[in-house]
Amino acid sequence: MKTSQALKQISEVTTAQWGLITAAQARLIDIERMQFSRLAHAGHLEQVIHGVYKFAGAPIDRFETIKANWLATYPEKWASTRLSAATPDCVVSGVTAARLCDLGDFEERYVEFSTPGRKQSQRAGIRFKTRVIAPEDITYAQGLPVTAAEKTVVDLLVEGVEIGLAAQVLADAAQTRTINYAHLEVLLDDNYRAFDAPRQAGSQLVERLMDQAGLSAHAVAVTAIAKGLAPALLRELSVDKKFAQTILQTSEGFDAMTAFVASMAQQAEMWKQSGLVQSVTKLQAQMQDMGAVMAKVSKVNIVSDRSAAPSQFESPLEQSAE
């Protein structure tokens, strides 16, 4: 293959892979090993790690080592194929997840991945954990599948990271996304043995984390949801039970409910102390923005049983009005 044609094909691949290509991928596009080596020697390619190269002229990426190592876990597969799979074959986790998401302050001592099947590497500075991570505990950052903030915090604590450092991760995450504190509590409860704590100690650990993270002001809203205020509000609005479950179990719905309660933090604190609002009319009068918030939820099109959900995802306020 002519050099110009080889460079064109490499450019097409690297454009979709953060400027990176593996030696195994090069062979898939009919670039022989010797020619690939000559291109690297000529300066067209720069080795990032063994078997993974950066195309000359690709933008500087402070996370390219993580991305290169992720590609190297399955060097013969295209990133697009792996990223479009229903279940990620390799998830960035632990300290590496925190670094990739700009959470906390950790040194780059190693790169950690979690894979559903056993994986080994002869490269130094790579750690693999064999485990299946639940879909709700996976998000995406810098184009890679990564453990969600709640899962990352728990993983760090399990690894023995000081609670103050884990709390900083939580604090940083709360600045840019909604934290599902109820789920965080569940994850902590599931790992109570690792903390040498009694069963059902998750709520106390969440409180410690929030206190050290300086999240007490925000805690009014998120604790309201964690303790059941959101389901109670949905019941007050006579929202279909299965649709309400969809709202609370999806990230979009939970984010919408959290944003709503956060905007009404003072009211939420009052409700927690005095009980539920007794009148739907009073609730609607005090929360004029409820329709707009729930309109966001109404766009979530993932209910498995449409017949159990409100017709065409009407706003719960509109349904209660009927």
Considering only residues 43 and 293, tell me which one the structure prediction assigns the higher pLDDT: 43
Task: State which of 6-20, 205-219, 272-286 shows the largest mean pLDDT.
Answer: 6-20
Q: Tokens 């009980």 — which residue?
A: 275
Q: What is the mean pLDDT of residues 261-288?
A: 46
**pLDDT surpassing 90 at residue 299:** no
Considering only residues 267 and 41, tell me which one the structure prediction assigns the higher pLDDT: 41
Taking the model in full, what pTM does it have?
0.69
> Could you tell me the two tokens for 125?
């500075």
For 201-260, the pLDDT digits (tens) are 788 888 889 888 887 645 545 544 544 555 665 565 555 666 666 655 555 565 566 555
Task: State which of 74-88, 111-125, 187-201, 251-265 shows the largest mean pLDDT.
Answer: 74-88
pLDDT band at 199 (very low <50, low <70, confident <90, very high): confident
**pLDDT surpassing 90 at residue 137:** yes
- State residue 113's pLDDT score: 97
Tell me whether strands 111-115 and 126-130 are parallel, antiparallel or unpaired: parallel
φ, ψ of residue 85 to 5 degrees: the values are -70, 150
For residues 242 and 305, is the Cβ–Cβ distance under 8 A? Answer: yes
**pLDDT surpassing 60 at residue 6:** yes
Name, in order, each residue with C-beta under 8 angstroms of 54's C-beta and a sequence gap of 6 or more.
14, 19, 20, 45, 46, 47, 48, 64, 68
14/318 Cα distance (integer angstroms): 49
Using DSSP's 3-state secondary structure scheme, residue 130 falls into: strand
pLDDT band at 39 (very low <50, low <70, confident <90, very high): very high
Considering only residues 120 and 64, tell me which one the structure prediction assigns the higher pLDDT: 64
**pLDDT surpassing 50 at residue 314:** no
263/209 Cα distance (integer angstroms): 22
237/280 Cα distance (integer angstroms): 6
- State residue 188's pLDDT score: 92
For 104-136, the pLDDT digits (tens) are 999 888 999 999 999 887 777 899 999 999 999
Give the type of residue at 143: G
- State residue 231's pLDDT score: 61
> Could you tell me the two tokens for 250?
């999806």
pLDDT band at 283 (very low <50, low <70, confident <90, very high): very low
Q: Tokens 């023995």 — which residue?
A: 160
- State residue 107's pLDDT score: 86
**pLDDT surpassing 60 at residue 56:** yes
pLDDT band at 65 (very low <50, low <70, confident <90, very high): very high
Q: Which of 272, 270, 298 is nearest to 286 (CA)?
A: 270
Sheet arrangement for strand 20-22: 20-22, 52-55, 45-49
Tell me whether strands 144-147 and 111-115 are parallel, antiparallel or unpaired: unpaired
Considering only residues 182 and 304, tell me which one the structure prediction assigns the higher pLDDT: 182
For residues 259 and 265, is the Cβ–Cβ distance under 8 A? Answer: no
Q: Interior CA angle at 274 toward 268 and 276, to 5°?
A: 65
272/224 Cα distance (integer angstroms): 7
**pLDDT surpassing 90 at residue 89:** yes
> Count of CB atoms within 10 A of residue 232's CB?
15
**pLDDT surpassing 90 at residue 36:** yes
- State residue 279's pLDDT score: 39
